[in-house]
Amino acid sequence: MVEAKKIWMDGHLVDWAEANVHVMTHALHYGLGVFEGVRCYATKGGGGAIFRLEEHTERLFASAHIVMLDIPFTKEEINMAVVETLKANSLSEGYIRPIAFLGAGSMGLLPKDNPVNVAIAAWEWGAYLGDDGIKNGIRVRVSSYLRHHVNSTMTKAKITGSYVNSIMAKREAIESGYDEAIMLDTEGYVSEGSGENIFMVKDGVIKTTALTSVLKGITRDSVMTILKDKGEVVREERFTRDELYTADEAFFTGTAAEITPIREVDGRVIGTGVPGPVTKGVQETYFKAVKGEDSRYEHWLHRL
Ligand SMILES: *Cc1c(COP(=O)(O)O)cnc(C)c1O
């Protein structure tokens, strides 16, 4: 079970076991909440560094703006609260979950006066898709569930309710013996994983899905920067599932999944079946960057 000592809730640190909400919490019924996933890494000197905290907070507020949820704190207050939460839990490395959601009060789809509650939790969390996955790659399947249409659930916001779709795709993948799902968009092109963006490499050309139906991942952006700094060009464009079947390399990116190579899609081996040179090069630089071992990316770190 996930656990730590303290959770920041509506402006105060409370004990983990006391961080509760009422069952009439509006978001529990209808899914109107927005969240972030942020990581903090221990650096060589020992102190922790939060990876791209300001960008995550920006996106939290952008998600809230999209669904018209009024977060009753400033971005600066949220940034400070994230640091405070890590310190209260003596964490120099871990996963951070800020969440803002419509609280208890009236029911009905559009209550006027319910409060917007905000909480920040942090705990120790290893590789989301497993250490073996990071090292040797994972097996994925194309889901029968589509990623949301751009005009149904907004795809640029991390909205709590949208993840029912991701959970169904993930469950289907796991129950049919795979490690993760790839979702197609409503026009049938590759979109992203259940909570990760996707990259593919073919004959030296690197592609990632354009920002249509996918979340604008901060790891995706970091990887694009890293590749640019290596002299590579990343094309942001749609590609098909059979392009992916015949790729030389493919990998997922996400705060939770970090950089996870994909070694098989729908039973087709990708490339040689082991992580390729582009994937490994990106992984190496990314893990150095997050741990403060590459001065070019120091500006991404919010040191504790
Ligand atoms: C969070 C998430 C990602 C990854 O975004 P990061 O900012 O890299 O963590 C990608 N796709 C979906 C659907 C997500 O929820």
Cα of 227 from ligand 1 centre, angstroms:
19
pLDDT at 100: 98
Q: Which of 38, 55, 255 most suits a substitution to test ligand 1, by most atoms within 8 Å of the C-beta?
A: 255
Atom 6 (ligand 1) nearest CA = 217
pLDDT at 112: 85
Name which of 128, 140, 134 is nearest 279 in CA terms.
134
- Per the CB < 8 A criterion, the answer to whether 256 and 37 are in contact is yes
Global confidence as pTM: 0.96
- The tens-digit pLDDT sequence of the chain (304 residues) is 788 999 999 999 999 999 999 999 999 999 999 999 999 999 988 799 999 999 999 999 999 999 999 999 999 999 999 999 999 999 999 999 999 999 999 999 988 899 999 999 999 988 888 889 999 999 999 999 999 999 998 999 999 999 999 999 999 999 999 999 999 999 999 999 999 999 999 999 999 999 999 999 999 999 999 999 999 999 999 999 999 999 999 999 999 999 999 999 999 999 999 999 999 999 999 999 999 999 999 999 999 9
- Residue 158 a catalytic site member: yes
pLDDT at 252: 98
Long-range Cβ contacts of 74-80 (<8 Å, 24+ apart): 78/118, 78/120, 79/53, 79/54, 79/302
Name which of 45, 24, 170, 8 is nearest 103 in CA terms.
24
Pocket lining for ligand 1, CB < 6 angstroms: 37, 158, 192, 195-197, 215, 217-220, 253-255
For residue 23, give Cα distances in angstroms to 99, 120, 273.
Answer: 17, 19, 47
pLDDT at 151: 93
From 5, 135, 158, 202, the catalytic residue: 158
pLDDT at 128: 83
Q: How far apart are CA 274 and CA 249, in angstroms?
A: 9
